[in-house]
Amino acid sequence: MSAFERIKVMVGGDPQKPAVFTPEAREIHDLKRMSKADFEAMKQHARDHRLVTHKWRNRRWVVLLLSNLLFTFSFWLDIQLLEGSLTASRFVGFHLIDLNSALQVMLAHKHIIVNLFIGTATVFVLWAALGGRSFCSWVCPYHLVAEWFEWLHLKLAEKKLVSDHEFHRGARTVFWLLFSILALVSGYTVFETVSPTGILSRALIYGPSLALGWVFLLLVFEVVYSRRAWCRYVCPIGLTYGMVGAVSPLRIQYRLENCFHEGDCRKVCLVPHVLDVVIKGRAADKHVPIGPDCTRCGLCIDVCPSGALVYDIKGLSKLM
């Protein structure tokens, strides 16, 4: 899949089956046409040796909590290490500005001062290197809270008390455009009014607000009606970082030779369309990078019993 096609999937397109397969991929696909009994036995073997691990999830939660609490303690203890909130801050004096907030302000105000430019450029380079949407799963406080409520949704869904209603993934692209146009036309940063990321970040630093009620309503909506709806179908921050991460060297890589096509990864994934490649017969190459909509959260790595998904830095494996 070309980079262009991966971006197409991110903005809402359906993943397509590849037209051309590399010889290695074809060989592996052919090798997997063993007898059903053989295949089942191998699967069973992998399952038996499965390690139930939460390694990456735990690391991620620690990073997410620490980076958010660093804001809080920096202010409370007045140590001036990380001043501001997630929308804009200064880390030991260096300006850092959230890309989507910067976009909203630039479109609404139509004037860019030097500090705004520096902070935006710094964050752009930072997340281009670190994987774009890794901001979502490793930093965004709403992601963490939504993850906890997702657990509740899945429990209730298991008991058939609720069910997941999917929306069209293209909706997020429409939201991105709408909020950009609204900022440009109205001259207000309209998205910031409803952004749970900004609301939660400010609440963690400056104390609780009425706006937390809105965040709670969103979470209830996600529990009873649509799993992870905000992150999947609405949040323009995710798309902004996704576009930045499209060129990132840090991504998750799929290894066809290790995969039993059991689909556990797709069940835990926030954005399962990026894992279309793990479906039997879909991988065009032996190793396939996962698309830019992936938040690099590592849940799939934790859940895969056979190590078919790994963190990868483009070019580094060749060097080593």
Partner 1 sequence: MKDQDQISAAVQPDGDVAPAAAKKGGKRPVAPVRKEAARRKFIRSVALAGGVVGLAMLGYVPVADARKSRLRPPGALEEHDFLSSCIKCGQCVQVCPVAAIRLDDIDHGFGIGVPYIDARMQACDFSCDAVQCILACPTGSLTYKKPEFVKTRAGMKLAHAPVLKAKEKDAEPTLNLKERIGVARLSRPDACLAVQGKAFKGPARGSDFKGRMRYMDVDRWKPIAVRDHPYERDICDLCVSECPIKDAIKMEETVGADGLKRYRPAVLEQCVGCGVCEMICPADPAAIVIDERKAWEAA
Q: Please list every residue from 290 through 309 that binds partner 1, using CB under 8 A.
A: none
| Closest approach of partner 1 to the CB of residue 61, in Å | 24
What is the residue type of 194?
V
Residue selected from 1, 10, 105, 239 as contacting partner 1 according to rule CB under 8 A? 105
Closest distance of CB 115 from partner 1, Å = 5
Which string of x and - marks every residue 32-51 that binds partner 1 (by CB under 8 A)? xx------------------
206 versus 311: smaller Cβ distance to partner 1 = 206
Residue type, 73: F
Instruction: Pick one of 206, 314, 316, 317: the residue that binds partner 1 (CB under 8 A).
Output: 206
The span from the CA of 133 to the CA of 250, in Å, is 11
**Residues of 4-18 as b/e, b for ≥16 C-beta within 10 angstroms?**
eebbbbbbbeebeeb
To the nearest 5 percent, what fractions of the chain are helix, strand and coil? 60, 10, 35
Q: Which of 19, 77, 92, 319 binds partner 1 (CB under 8 A)?
A: 19
Question: What is the smallest separation between the CB atom of 34 and partner 1, expressed in angstroms?
Answer: 10
Which amino acid type is present at position 95?
A: H
The nearer residue to partner 1, 200 or 243, going by C-beta atoms, is: 200
248 binds partner 1 (CB under 8 A): no
Contact range with partner 1 by CB under 8 A, out of 49-57, 76-84, 122-130, 294-302: 76-84
CA atoms of 239 and 242, how far apart (whole Å): 5
Q: Name residues contacting partner 1, limited to 111-150 (CB under 8 A).
A: 111, 113, 115-116, 119
Closer of 21 and 61 to partner 1 (Cβ) = 21
Instruction: Give me the helix-helix angle, 141-158 and 212-224, nearest 10°.
Output: 30
Rg (CA), the chain: 21
Contact 86, 197 (CB under 8 A): yes
Confirm or reject binding of residue 216 to partner 1 (CB under 8 A): no
Question: What is the rounded distance in angstroms from the CA atom of residue 131 to the CA atom of residue 252?
Answer: 10
Q: Are 233 and 225 in contact (CB under 8 A)?
A: no
